[in-house]
């Protein structure tokens, strides 16, 4: 595999290594990268010499900052179909990682957002460090937590997942483990030791040999007000409970919600509640695919990416601009079937 490939693959002892290799873009995920990863996973699944698969990111900024949102933005403006094809294969990859027949170790060091969650949080061993910044920031760009995000966050303790999904919050190692996005804490200076151990040891033994106790979770300490505020499926009531709370952090969350796309917030809330009742990750990914196709090219998605990524003025003009302006019928339309697609 050439050195400039966006994904590097090599075998070290009994471990097959996949290295995301776009460090200048914090390894943002492209369709080509998805194709390479799927091909290598299929090859290694049939190779008895490869006992464990290890996912890391090149550079020192993070594993993966999400999908290549700039390409998706331009495709949306043009009314193209490349993004729909990308999401279809990306979501298939996420499901394949969750069901992979061999141990899959995802090293979630540094920034892990959006599509990076899809590559790592469905793995059998999910390792975070003191440098980890994990989250689903999609409501801030007029989108929703995809790549199985609705499935994972809907199964977090209490309403912690709802809080993170709606506010698009980033969390560190302790909180990521508490909400179910990771399960092992390894200090970053021990990651070389982890990779060395994986070359010759069983994955479980290798990870355990370098892991430290899980750091305390601040979110767990906030469960009381979070669970109370985010109960139910009415976004307006959730906002009111946050805004009227005696807890400063709750009022801060209310202010954050006012900066997000009202359409994204309402669709995300309904998607989370629906995903909680779905039987499997693939079922949730099917729902998410319908939502992704509908969001692509929508006003709020195009405007959100423009404001946050393209022009970087950080002042998106959402339409509708208020929670009440987003009708139940408009939300329901996002979930409708896609026919032959």
Q: What DSSP line would sit under 152-202, residue for residue?
A: HHTTSSTTHHHHHHHHT-EE-HHHHHHHTS--EE--GGGHHHHHHHHTTS-
pLDDT value of residue 166? 98
The answer to whether 115 is a known catalytic residue is: yes
Apex 101 CA angle, 100 and 107, nearest 5: 50
Q: Three-class SS of residue 295?
A: helix
Greatest alpha-carbon span in the chain: 59
Across the beta sheet with 184-185, the strand order is 7-12, 15-20, 52-57, 104-108, 125-128, 184-185
The answer to whether 303 is a known catalytic residue is: no
pLDDT value of residue 297? 86
Q: In which element (H, E) is residue 8 found?
A: strand 7-12
pLDDT value of residue 16? 98
Q: Which residues contact 143 (CB under 8 A, 6 or more apart)?
A: 264, 292, 295, 301, 304
The answer to whether 169 is a known catalytic residue is: no
Find where tokens 């700039």 sit. Answer: 70
Which residue, 32, 53, 31, 30, is CA-closest to 42?
53
Q: What is the dihedral of CA 159, 162, 167, 173, to 10 degrees?
A: 70
Find where tokens 């982890």 sit. Answer: 194
10-residue stretch averages of pLDDT, the chain, 341 residues long: 91 98 97 98 98 97 95 94 97 98 98 97 98 97 98 98 97 98 98 98 98 97 97 98 98 98 98 98 98 96 96 97 97 94 72
Tell me how far apart the alpha carbons of residues 137 and 313 are, in angstroms, rounded to a whole number: 17
Active-site residue, from 68, 75, 94, 138: 138
Find where tokens 């009531």 sit. Answer: 237
Residue 214 per-residue DSSP state: P
Cβ–Cβ < 8 Å for 11, 49: yes
pLDDT value of residue 51? 98
Find where tokens 């109370």 sit. Answer: 228
Q: Three-class SS of residue 112?
A: strand
Active-site residue, from 57, 66, 67, 148: 67
Cβ–Cβ < 8 Å for 272, 165: yes
Tell me how far apart the alpha carbons of residues 177 and 305 are, in angstroms, rounded to a whole number: 29
The answer to whether 138 is a known catalytic residue is: yes
pLDDT value of residue 2? 79
**Quick one: tokens of 194?**
């982890």
Active-site residue, from 68, 90, 109, 146: 146
Active-site residue, from 16, 57, 66, 115: 115
């Amino acid at each position: 595999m050439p050195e400039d490939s966006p994904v590097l693959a090599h075998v070290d002892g009994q471990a097959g290594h996949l290295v995301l290799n776009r460090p200048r873009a914090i390894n943002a995920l492209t369709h080509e990268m998805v194709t390479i990863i799927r091909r290598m996973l299929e090859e290694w699944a049939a190779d008895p010499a490869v006992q464990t698969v290890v996912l890391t990111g090149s550079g020192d900024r993070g594993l993966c900052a999400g999908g290549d949102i700039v390409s998706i933005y331009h495709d949306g403006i043009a009314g193209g179909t490349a993004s729909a094809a990308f999401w279809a294969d990306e979501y298939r990859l996420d499901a394949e990682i969750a069901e992979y027949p061999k141990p899959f170790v995802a090293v979630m060091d540094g920034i892990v957002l959006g599509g990076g969650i899809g590559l790592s949080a469905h793995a059998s061993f999910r390792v975070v460090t003191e440098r980890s910044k994990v989250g689903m920031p999609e409501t801030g760009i007029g989108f929703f937590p995809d790549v199985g995000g609705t499935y994972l966050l809907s199964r977090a303790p209490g309403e912690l997942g709802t809080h993170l999904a709606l506010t698009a919050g980033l969390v560190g190692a302790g909180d990521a483990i508490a909400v179910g996005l990771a399960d092992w804490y390894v200090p970053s200076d021990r990651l070389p030791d982890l990779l060395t151990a994986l070359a010759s040891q069983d994955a479980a033994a290798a990870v355990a040999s370098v892991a430290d106790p899980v750091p305390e979770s601040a979110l767990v300490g906030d469960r009381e007000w979070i669970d109370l505020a985010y109960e139910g499926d009415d976004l307006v009531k959730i906002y009111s409970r946050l805004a009227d709370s005696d807890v400063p952090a709750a009022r801060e969350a209310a202010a954050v919600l006012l900066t997000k796309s009202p359409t994204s917030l309402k669709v995300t809330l309904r998607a989370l509640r629906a995903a909680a009742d779905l039987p499997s990750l693939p079922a949730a990914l099917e729902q998410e695919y319908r939502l992704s196709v509908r969001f692509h090219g929508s006003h709020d998605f195009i405007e959100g990416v423009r404001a946050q990524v393209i022009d970087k003025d950080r002042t998106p003009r959402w339409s509708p601009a208020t929670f009440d302006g987003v009708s139940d019928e408009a939300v329901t339309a996002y979930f409708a079937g896609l026919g032959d697609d």
